[in-house]
Structure formats: structure tokens, C-alpha cells
Chains A and B, each alone.
Chain A
């Protein structure tokens, strides 16, 4: 009965939003007009430009400057060849006295290194040519000690056009090589078997699928913005507009559940955005009807297959839901319609950042990406439009997108339930002074940000020195600075003696904890494979000596990080929020502090254990001990002993059991020693 009540409320609210929306010419234009003209306009623009480009690139010969020794037979043969080829025009010819131009020893021209980049560039610009050809008949030592001729083609790859022209130069030189080979074979009386071979290189994908791939890279991006503009009018009107017109108070005093109000309005926004997206799809189809593919020679951007288009449209439902939720939040957040409009710009920026990844066809769709709000859904649309994609990934991104959208709507309805929707400027509750929890969070975020820039700064340093400087020079200073500035007592950051039991627990749980972290890493790597380049990065650390390992990799992080995370941040937060929450929040910061998405989950788990131990024992000393021993264990024990994966499961179970037992011991001892957990 209550549910049906909510339902009828939703319907009423929805009907009104739609009715007013339909009577608003600007809203109609954003939902129907703009998407309808957007796509044909875009296609027209692109095809015109691209065809022009195509003609330019296909038909114009490349202009080159040639620098070659004056009287060398190979050089003059090459120049003759180039002059006879219609693909190339030799604009300038600079004859060098023999051996006047040498290549610096050690320069590897094959890998693109060349004697003097800026000189070459200046030469290209001075001659205003597409490429510079450098002919050195005796430049480099060959594999058998003899000298080999060298042919350098230099160009300035500032545009697609310069690439295309340079390709024409290299193609010409390639044919020259083939010709010379042919000649040599004939002179030697050998029949060249390659001469009669037919080489076929053909892209077997359908033209329409190829253009789908091309389109798939930009269409998700466009869909985002079409959805945003299509729903924006109704959305901004929905809360901000009602507040401004003075109808919000009347609405909120009606017997309608807040969730129903938000749901009805969000449904209207969703429909407006959806209509805009579908209209854009129709515009696309109409466009394809009026602009036949055949007439667009050399133009890759055309229209995707209809089935792919329909699938792409369906996959955009979660995306549109997310955008509708974002719009509702903006509308509820703003004090006025005008302010809501001002929020639209940052929101577009956010969409841009989220959507731009999917426009690069070089970034493949991955499990990690599929879970990112907006981005994952944009990728799913891209994959479907190009006629493929892993169904599992697409399903994952659709589900997660729907969840994000619904969560966003729920948040909006929470905002509407509070009286804050009527009182904006003033707080309704007395201020409590600056909250210690907020201060702690700010400290944690400042550390993260500082660390990010510091790691860039220290990039060239040796890793061990970098760690030492970061830990003592940054973390320690931040922690002690915070303690001094806010006048905290040593005991309030956990610097107090610990019971021998808790120290024992710390010692005993180091190895099980390392097993646990390794297991988390292993499980995670099934979902997100760790790139090989990352394990390369860890090599210098793995080569550290025992002394370095103990001092810099184990004790230093243990002392500095524990004081900062468990001593200051966690304990400051616990003055305001419950201890379990403080443990979780500080562990999240601790995980983020390692600045790698691959290490986040394992270090989060370790952070939880350390936080818990620190509260249970009432001191940070056991956590320091555990942290130090854990680092040692992780360094020496785990990589070798867990290699056979079969060993992991038993080790994990045993470790969890040991950890649980130790945990219970510490808890009970802690309780007996000091009453309830220490604050």
C-alpha cells in the first residue's frame, strides 16, 4: 500500500514535469532539435574536411631536399631515381665535399637518433620541404666490419599530412631498393622469384563496420553531451527552478514521499535525455539514408550498422541514468536556477574527462575501466558500435552504471528530505569548532597530494634514497608538525608503553599478514593483471642489502607511517567518529598513500590490521613493530614461498586463523588491561 502510494506520487510528479517541459520551447529544442541537426551537421563537416584532406594527401607529391656527397655513384643514382619518380619532387640539392659530413660515433640512426635535430629542423623549414634526405654512402660499420651506406629521411611530423607525404618518399626509396636488387639478381644470372609474386593487402572488414569503429570512438562522447543538454532544462527546473519560483515549499508540504518526488522528476529528466539520445540516433539513420556511403570515397567516418547502433543506444541507458542523477544533484545543490546553470560548466568538464578516454582507440576496454562511473559506460557503447566487445565487460559496466545512477538519485532525494533544501545559507546546527576529523582528513589528503608531486620530483633519485627522504623529510615532518601546531600530547597520538602481550601479537601476526596481503594481491591480479613494467620498477628495491632493507625498507616506513596514519590521522578522527570507522577511513588513506591502484587493496588490508591493533593495544608501538616485521616478511618470505599457487590456499587459511586468534587475544587482553578500547 505504501509502495503504491509512492508510485502514484511518482506518476503525478512525472506528468507535471513532462507537461511543463513540452510547453517550453527551449527544452524542446535541446531534447529534439539539437540532436537532430547535430549529427548530420557533424558528418557534413567531417566528410567535407576529410575529403579535402584525402585529396591533398593522395595526389600531391612530396617535396624533398637532398644532401649528398658530390661525386658518389650511389648518391647520383639515387637522386636520378628520385627525380624520375612522380611521387617525389626534389626541390634542393646540396652537394657535399666527400666525407665532410660525419655522424657522431655512437649515434644510432636506425633508432631515430640523428646528428643534430634542430639543424635538420631548421633546414626543413628553410627549404620549406616535406622531408630532408641525407645520403651517406659510407657512414656506419656493417655487421662484417665493412662500411654500409646510410639513407636518412627526416621530416617534421606535425600533421597527418606530413606523415603521408613522408610515406610517399619512403615508398619511392623502397621501390629503388627493389629495383637495385632486381638488377643485381639479373647481373648474377639469378631469376628473382619475388618478381612475379602478387602481394595483396586488404582490409576484409565491411566498410560499414570500419566506420562504426571510427564513429564508436566519438559517439559515446557525443551521447554524453546530448544527454546532458537534453535533460538539463527539466533537471534544473526540477529543484532549483521550483525553489526560485516559490513552488518548492508547496510541493514539499504535500503528502508525497521525498523519494517519489525525486523519482518522478528524475524519470522526466531521464526521458528527456533519452529522447535526445534516440533523436540523435534517428538523425544518424536519416543521415545515412541521404548520404550514401559509396559517394564518400576516402572518407572513413560514415554510419555504423543499424544493429550496432541499436545496441549502442540500449547500452546508453545506464549512461543516461547517471547523467540524469548528476543533473538532479546539481539542481538540488544549487540555491537558484542561475547557480545551477553555473554548475553545468564544471559538470560538463567532468563528463569530458570521463568520456575522453573512450575516444582513444588505443585504450582497450578493461575490467578496471568498466567499473568507473560514466567512463565504463562510454566504453561499452564504443565497443558495441564497432560491432564487438566482451559481453561480460559490457554487462559489468551496465550494471555498475545503473548502480551509480540509482545511488546518485538516492543522494538527491536525501538532499530533498533534509530541511537544508529550504535553508541554504545558514547552518541549522551550531558550529562545533573545526572538527578534528575534518582536520585529520585534510592532513591525509595534503599528504597524498604532496606525495604525488614529491614522487615526480624524486623520480631521478635512487629509490632507496627517495624512500628515506620521503619518509623522514615529508611524512615525519607532516606528522610532527601537526602534533606541534595543534598541541597534541604524546599519549594522544598513541605514544605510550604497550603491553608485552600486544607486542607479542604484533610479532606473531607479521607473517600471516604478509600471506594475507599476498593473497589479496593474487586475487586482484586475476581481475586486473599487473603490467610487467610495474614489477620492473620494484627491481632496485629487491636488490637492497640486508642493512638497507632493515633500516630503510622496514624500520623507516614503520615509524613514520605509523605515527602519521595510526598515531595522528586515525586517532584524531576517532575523537569524532567511531573507532571502526576511523580504522577504515585511515586504512583507505593508507592504501591510497601507496599511489598505485595495484597496491591499493593489499595495503588497505594491512592498514586495517594495523589500525585495529593500534586501537586494541592503546599504543602505536605494536603497530610499528608489526609494520616493520610485515615489511621484512613481505620482502623475504613471500615471493619465494608462495610461488606454487597451490600453497597459497592452505597458507591463507592458516594465516587467517592465526590472525583471528591473535586478534581475539589482543582484544581480550586489551579489555582486561584498560577497560573498553582506549579512546
Chain B
């Protein structure tokens, strides 16, 4: 399953802009980031920070303007097909095929990965058990609630047992139990040697789960390190304060909440 030697995800000075008329929107500006195998990295940042753009570049859906990125040892441009084989990707507002049942969706994506039927059955058995999907397995997806659809999507992304997981806000819309299941699953994946990069707006998740946290703001990595390192750097104790310090420094007046750098 694993490709050439190297870490799970390696991003080297990737930049990417979008153009709106003559105006440039710099979604990513010289971003570098590494996520090793057996490591969970959380990507935090306010809306419009560039998280989705980065994850899409890693999923080979967008091309970087400059810089390079490798996933599971494969270059996202040169070896796009190998990268796609190596990742389980969940986009932000991922959808399901309404007229298929969860079981059929698993069959479909399994066939796209050229898995054998027995293999698909085995993985589906395991994932449906874990995400508690058996009782919904033969309903059409359009009949499922949004959270249940998200569970199906997650199971689908994990179907081919990918060594690298790229998840864009995987817990958005899930109930507490499903969110906990997802977090639990990411935790287990790490122990199995997976490399996980996920974006989230739920700081507690990141705090609980992540080996390292990267904070992205206005297309730049503002901080990257373990929670401890971030605490040291910013002098804040809670992740929320660290986040506000790094990402919203320009919005919140330093010291206005009594937690500005001056108080460190």
C-alpha cells in the first residue's frame, strides 16, 4: 500500500491564487507543511484561510501555481493517479448518490479502486459495523439524514484502506456520537500507521486528537507544531486563545480580552 520512502504528506512552498477579474486572491502563499506516517495533523484557520484549497491540491483536484507537494511519496502533479490511489479524501460538503443505497455506494467506489468483491464486502462489514450503518444499509441515501449521509461518505473514503487520509471538516453536521466515532476512527488509523491531515473548526477535537496543529491564516501558515510548542510560542494556555492570538490578531485588539501578548 505505501509508496516510495518518505513521509505521508510533504508540502513545499506551495502558492496558489484565484483571479476574480483583475483582482488576485491569494488563497495559499508559500505554504510548507509535513505530516508523517502515524501522525494526525490538524489544520485550523478562519473561514477563507485556504484550508480547502490546500487539501484540494493534495487531492490532485487543483494545481499549485508554484511549489510542490508529495503524498505518500508521490508527486501530486507527476503521479496524480498514484496519489489518488493512496488517499481517502473527503471534501467539505461531500455528497452521496441519492438513488443508491449505502451498500451500493461502497460497491461503486470499490470498483473504482478495482477492489475485488470479497475485499469490498470485508471492508464494508468492518466500516459499517464501526459507523453503525447496518440498519441503514439498504435504504436509499436520499432518505438518510445529513449526518448519516456524512457517515456513509466517511466510510466510503476509508473503503480502500488508504495510507493517507485527507479530510475537510469531517465532523461538520455529525451528532456527538458520530463525531466521536469519527474522531475515534482517526485515532485508530493513526495507530495503524496512517497519516491524517484534517481541517476543522472544532478546536476541542484538534486539541484532543492532533499530534501537531497547523494554523493557516490568509494563506499563510502562522504556526505549526505540537500543542505544547504552540503554547510556548504564544504564551497562551488554551488552544482557543492560541488560535485567536495567531489568526485573529488583526481583528481583536491585543489585550482587549486580557489575553494579548502583553499579558504573557
Contacts and interface: CB of A to CB of B under 8 A. Distances in A.
Interface of A: 5, 8-9, 11-13, 15-16, 19-20, 23-24, 245-247, 249-257, 419, 422-423, 425-431
Contacts of B97: 16, 20, 245, 247
Given A20-B99, A255-B82, A422-B56, 10 more contacts: A12-B108, A19-B104, A247-B94, A250-B109, A253-B61, A253-B87, A257-B81, A419-B61, A419-B63, A426-B25
B24 to A, nearest CB: 7
Contact of B19 (A13, A251, A253, A427): A427
A250 B160 CA distance: 14
A255 B81 contact: yes
Contact of B156 (A245, A250, A426): A250
A222 B49 CA distance: 53
Given A24-B99, A249-B94, A12 B111 contact: yes
Interface string B85-108: 101011101111111100010001
Contact of A247 (B87, B96, B114, B157): B96
A428 B18 contact: yes
Given A9-B112, A255-B112, A23 B99 contact: yes
A170 B62 CA distance: 77
A254 B109 contact: yes
Interface of B: 17-22, 24-25, 56, 59-63, 81-82, 84-85, 87, 89-91, 93-100, 104, 108-109, 111-114, 140, 153, 156-157
Contacts of A256: 112
Contact of B89 (A16, A253, A419): A253
A428 B56 CA distance: 14
Nearest to B81: A255
B95 A246 contact: yes
Contacts of B111: 8, 11-12, 15
Nearest to A425: B20
Contact of B95 (A19, A245, A254): A245
Contacts of A430: 17, 19, 24
Q: Which 9 A-B pairs have the closest CB atoms?
A: A246-B95, A12-B111, A245-B95, A249-B91, A255-B84, A23-B99, A253-B89, A254-B112, A20-B99
Contacts of A428: 18-19
Contacts of B112: 9, 12-13, 251, 254-256
B100 A423 contact: no
A10 to B, nearest CB: 11
Which of the listed residues A19, A250, A254 has the most CB atoms from chain B within 10 Å of its own CB?
A: A250
B19 A429 contact: yes
Contacts of A12: 108, 111-112
Nearest to A24: B99
Given A19-B104, A246-B91, A246-B95, A253 B59 contact: yes
A256 B96 CA distance: 18
Contacts of A257: 81
A8 to B, nearest CB: 6
27 contacts: A8-B114, A9-B112, A16-B97, A16-B104, A19-B104, A20-B99, A247-B96, A249-B59, A249-B89, A249-B91, A250-B90, A250-B94, A251-B112, A252-B61, A253-B60, A254-B112, A254-B113, A255-B112, A419-B62, A422-B56, A422-B62, A423-B18, A426-B18, A426-B19, A426-B25, A430-B17, A431-B22
A233 B144 CA distance: 23
Contacts of B18: 423, 426-428
A16 B101 CA distance: 11
A423 B20 CA distance: 11
Contacts of A255: 81-82, 84-85, 112-113
Contacts of A16: 97, 100, 104, 108
Contacts of A425: 20
A431 B56 CA distance: 23
Contacts of B20: 425-426
A20 B100 contact: yes
Contacts of B60: 253
A244 to B, nearest CB: 8
A5 to B, nearest CB: 7
Contacts of A254: 84, 109, 112-113
